[in-house]
Amino acid sequence: MFFLTNDDGIYAAGIAHLAEAVEPLGAVFVVAPDRERSNISMAITIDRPLRAHQHGENRYAVDGTPVDCVDLAIGELLPETPALCLSGINMGQNLGHDVLFSGTIAAARKATFLGVPSIAFSMPWITGQRDKWHMDTAGDIVRNVVQETLRHGLPEGVLLNVNIPNVPAAEVRGVRIVRQDPAPYDSHVLTREDKWGAPYYWIGGKRLDAPNREQTDFGVVLDGYVSITPLHADLTHDETMEHLGAWDLRA
Ligand code: MN
């Protein structure tokens, strides 16, 4: 059984395409937020109870976050431990630092914490054409990655971050195993005036260019490749551990 979730909400086209892609491979069980909950990473709801509304067989909408959905699905709603957790297909890229903000990645990460191997799928939007999606491109790629993951398995705590170019299938140039792009976004605050003359602010930023872009998720997806990046939750920086060893730190 495949457990499907996302952060765009149960009504998003991406999760319907994900379900369609893997239904030929096995039973699908969907537990997803009842509305879009993108960009909230691993937020959890512990100040109120959660409700799960059934939307047909093996399909639940939860009034919580993506990580809430994973907890509820694996801890309570699923009739068995799923073979895989599949998160997405996110309608928007999850490249480089995006993975730190993403609810799609967070859901997959949470499932690995509960011992379920996970894959997050995303497709970048096209600048200026936010309603244009080549979701049909994803089907064969999703099935292939899922089948290979079932065949080979994943190390404990490791999830796959898969980004599929938003182009017709014939234009996909191949698959690249690449690092997470290291470049942060710059900070850009758009300030405008509301109808009462008070300022409002819209945050966001542009991605800063990074060296070795041809070896990172961001770079290869720009070039028309599917990117696959194995991720884990350990954020420890090993080189700085050694550096700190030389400091005169006392308890
Ligand atoms: Mn999203």
What pLDDT score was predicted for residue 102?
98
How confident is the model over 29-50, as a mean pLDDT? 98
Average pLDDT estimate for 223-250: 95
Q: What's the pLDDT at 27?
A: 98
What spacing in Å lies between the alpha carbon of 77 and ligand 1's midpoint?
23
Cα 21 from Cα 65, distance rounded (Å):
24
Residue 209: pLDDT over 90: no
Residue 210 has pLDDT above 80, yes or no: no
In this structure, the dihedral spanned by the alpha carbons of residues 165, 169, 173 and 178, taken in order and rounded to 10 degrees, is 40
Phi and psi, residue 73, nearest 5°: -65, -55
- The size of the chain, in residues, is 251
Residue 6: how many other CB atoms lie within 10 Å:
32
Cα(79) to ligand 1 centroid in Å equals 27
State pLDDT tens for residues 174-207.
Answer: 999 999 999 989 999 999 999 999 999 999 988 8
Q: How confident is the model at residue 55 (pLDDT cuts 50, 70, 90)?
A: very high
Looking at every residue in the chain, the average pLDDT score rounds to: 96
235 CA → ligand 1 middle, Å: 23
Pairing of strands 28-33, 84-91: unpaired
Does the structure show a pLDDT above 90 at 64? yes
For the residues 23-42, what does the mean pLDDT come to?
98
Q: Looking at residues 210-222, what average pLDDT do you find?
A: 89
Residues 85-95 have a mean pLDDT of 98
- Domains in the chain with CATH codes: 2-181+211-244 (3.40.1210.10)
Q: How far apart are CA 233 and CA 120, in angstroms?
A: 14
Buried b (16+ CB within 10 A) or exposed e, 236-251: eeeeeeeeeeeeeeee
The CA 104 to ligand 1 mean position distance, Å, reads: 6
pLDDT band for position 214 (cuts 50, 70, 90): confident
Q: What is the pTM of this model?
A: 0.96
- Work out the percent of the chain whose per-residue pLDDT is above 70: 100
